[in-house]
Amino acid sequence: MSKAMTEYRYNRLTWPEINDAIAAQKLVILPTGSTEQHGPHLPLDVDVFLCESVCLEVGRRAPDKVLVLPPVAYGLNLHHIDFPGTIHIEPEVFIAFCLNITKSVAYHGFQKILIVNGHGSNGPLIDLVARKTVLETPSLCFATTYFWFLLDEFQKIRETPVMAHADEFETSLYLYLAADRVQMDKAVEDNDRMGKYVSSDSTPNYPVRFNDYWGRWTRTGVHGDPRPATAEKGRRLFEAAVTGLLELVDELRRWPIEERADMHRLPAAKSIRW
DSSP output for the chain:
--GGGT--BGGGS-HHHHHHHHHTTPEEEEEE-----BTTTB-TTHHHHHHHHHHHHHHHH-TTTEEEPPPB--B--GGGTTSTT--B--HHHHHHHHHHHHHHHHHHT--EEEEEE--GGGHHHHHHHHHHHHHHSSSEEEEEEGGGGGHHHHHHH--SS--SBSSHHHHHHHHHHHGGG--GGG---B---B-SS-BTB--TTSSS--B--GGGT-SS--BB--TT--HHHHHHHHHHHHHHHHHHHHHHHH---PPPP---SSPP-TT---
The alpha carbon of 222 is separated from its chain's Cα centroid by a whole number of angstroms, namely 20
| Part in contact with Zn ion (CB under 5 A); list of ranges 45-53, 83-91, 142-150, 242-250 | 45-53
Is residue 253 within 8 A of residue 190, CB to CB? The reply is no
Task: Note whether 29 binds Zn ion by CB under 5 A.
Answer: no
Interacting positions 61-100 with Zn ion (CB under 5 A): none
| Part in contact with Zn ion (CB under 5 A); list of ranges 10-18, 41-49, 108-116, 193-201 | 41-49
CB nearer Zn ion, residue 62 or residue 150: 150
- Torsion angle defined by CA atoms of residues 58, 64, 70 and 71, in that order, rounded to the nearest 10 degrees: -30
Task: Note whether 168 binds Zn ion by CB under 5 A.
Answer: no
Find the shortest distance in angstroms from Cβ 226 to Zn ion: 11
CB nearer Zn ion, residue 47 or residue 153: 47
Task: Note whether 46 binds Zn ion by CB under 5 A.
Answer: yes
| Part in contact with Zn ion (CB under 5 A); list of ranges 46-54, 121-129, 148-156, 208-216 | 46-54
CB nearer Zn ion, residue 46 or residue 125: 46
Find the shortest distance in angstroms from Cβ 223 to Zn ion: 9
CA dihedral over 183, 32, 34, 202, signed as positive or negative: negative
Task: Note whether 47 binds Zn ion by CB under 5 A.
Answer: yes
Find the shortest distance in angstroms from Cβ 88 to Zn ion: 15
Task: Note whether 45 binds Zn ion by CB under 5 A.
Answer: no
Closest CA to 210 of 228, 189, 195, 190: 195
CB nearer Zn ion, residue 7 or residue 47: 47
CB nearer Zn ion, residue 137 or residue 171: 171
| Part in contact with Zn ion (CB under 5 A); list of ranges 39-47, 89-97, 102-110, 182-190 | 39-47
State the number of binding residues for Zn ion (CB under 5 A). 2
Give residue number: closest CB to Zn ion: 47
| Part in contact with Zn ion (CB under 5 A); list of ranges 19-27, 40-48, 214-222, 263-271 | 40-48
CB nearer Zn ion, residue 46 or residue 240: 46
Find the shortest distance in angstroms from Cβ 265 to Zn ion: 52
**Where along the sequence are the contacts to Zn ion (CB under 5 A)?**
46-47
